[in-house]
Amino acid sequence: MTKTVSIAQNIGNVYIGDSPEYKVNSAINELLNALASTPFQFGSSPRKAPSATIAKIEHNHIQSRRHIIRQYLEQSAAIEAAYRGIDSVIPFGKQTVLLNLRNLYFAALDNIGVDYLGGEIELEKLRENAVLVLDFIILKLKNLAIESKNQNCVKEQIEQGINVVVAHAFIECIIFENPENDT
């Protein structure tokens, strides 16, 4: 029995076996490894979400993803330490991760057809699709992390870490819109 593959049209490389990307590390993986190596104390009470964060959640219509913000609140000190750690391993590591998150945000906006180049973002269209935008960013980061060189992380740590990283970007206004800027 022979196995054949017929490719009608190809845009990009075709790899039989592992892609070379699996052998290259990424800044997000360094951050996830740093988060995974930070001890987590189960049962500790997380800090409360500031009213500005709650307002931003409501403003952007992502109430169904509040659990991600909760995960961030439980590990907010760990994410800051992890960012300091990757800056010592990768030059401008934190900026690389945050720029990647911002670029993924704009790719998600492109995906749902929200114009952002004209100055003002179409807020109503963004709000209608906010959960899709958030899920798009998370999925793209998971794919990047899984397709990169993973050394010490297990799947649960990757998922938890990505949620914390995305929530941090949300809190810091790297992704989504700040209600204070909306007049």
Q: What are the residue ranges spanned by the domains of the chain?
A: 20-39+46-181
Per-residue confidence (pLDDT) for residue 183, from 0 to 100 = 46
CA diameter of the chain: 67
Per-residue confidence (pLDDT) for residue 163, from 0 to 100 = 93
Mean pLDDT over residues 145-163, rounded?
79
Per-residue confidence (pLDDT) for residue 150, from 0 to 100 = 59
Phi, psi values for residue 145, rounded to 5°: -65, -45
Model confidence pLDDT, tens digit, residues 20-49: 555 556 788 888 888 877 766 665 556 788
Model confidence pLDDT, tens digit, residues 88-110: 888 898 999 999 999 999 999 99
pLDDT at 112 over 60: yes
